[in-house]
Structure 1
């Protein structure tokens, strides 16, 4: 799918490939059509908890965390790491990222990322993220 991005046209498949090749994230689904806009890219992502565990273990022992604490740590760390994606995007890009689920059967944290041109108002990005959140599992 092609998306208007400022004065340029961006291929969502190229962005998808760039994210998968340069990060630990896997693209579950291209959700760009689900935004119902022609100027926003959106993806459902996942990151393996093994990757997150290695980072967490640098600061504390996993066994010292309760399941709730580990869940919170996974979500916040996944969101923090996903901001690295911004470095792979056009300079004018802004992101909104939301980790929403620990899928224990896949040992992964699932996230939604919306990417837009910097001219898009922050309130519109929040509305888009709400819409996308209703579309995932």
Structure 2
């Protein structure tokens, strides 16, 4: 889908390829169309639990964490790692990132990332994220 980003036109497929080629994330779905806006990029991403475990093991013994603590660590860490994706988006981008699910059957954590030009504003981007979250739950 083509997105109007300030005075630029961006193909969300190009961004999807950049994410998959240069990060640990896999694009589950391009949600840009689901944002109901022509100026928002949005993706449903997943990251493998083994990758997250490598980071967590630097600070904790995984066996000592309860399942609830591990869940919180996975979601927090997935969101933190996703902030590194900012370099693949145009300058003047603002991001909203939400981890929403630990999928034990696929052994990954799912997140949504929404990207807009800074002129759109964080409040509008948060509103869009609320809509996107309801689409995946």
Q: TM-score, normalised by structure 1?
A: 0.98
2:31 is aligned to 31
Q: What are the within-5 Å matches in structure 2 for residues 12-31 of structure 1?
A: 12-31=12-31
How far 1:87 sits from its partner (Å)? Answer: 1.3
Question: Aligned runs of 1:53-132 on 2, under 5 Å?
Answer: 53-132=53-132
Q: Which residue does the alignment assign to 1:136?
A: 136
Tell me the SS of whatever aligns to 1:110: strand
* 3-state SS of 2:106 partner: coil
Q: Which runs of 5 or more structure 2 residues have no equivalent in the other structure? A: none
Query: SS of 1:106's equivalent?
Result: coil
- Which TM-score applies when normalising by structure 2? 0.98
Unmatched runs of 5 consecutive residues or more in structure 1: none
| CA shift for structure 1 position 88 | 1.5
C-alpha distance in structure 2 between counterparts of 1:84 and 1:121, whole Å? 20
SS in 1 for 2:53: helix
Q: How many residues align?
A: 137
> How many angstroms apart in 1 are the aligned matches of 2:122 and 2:113?
14
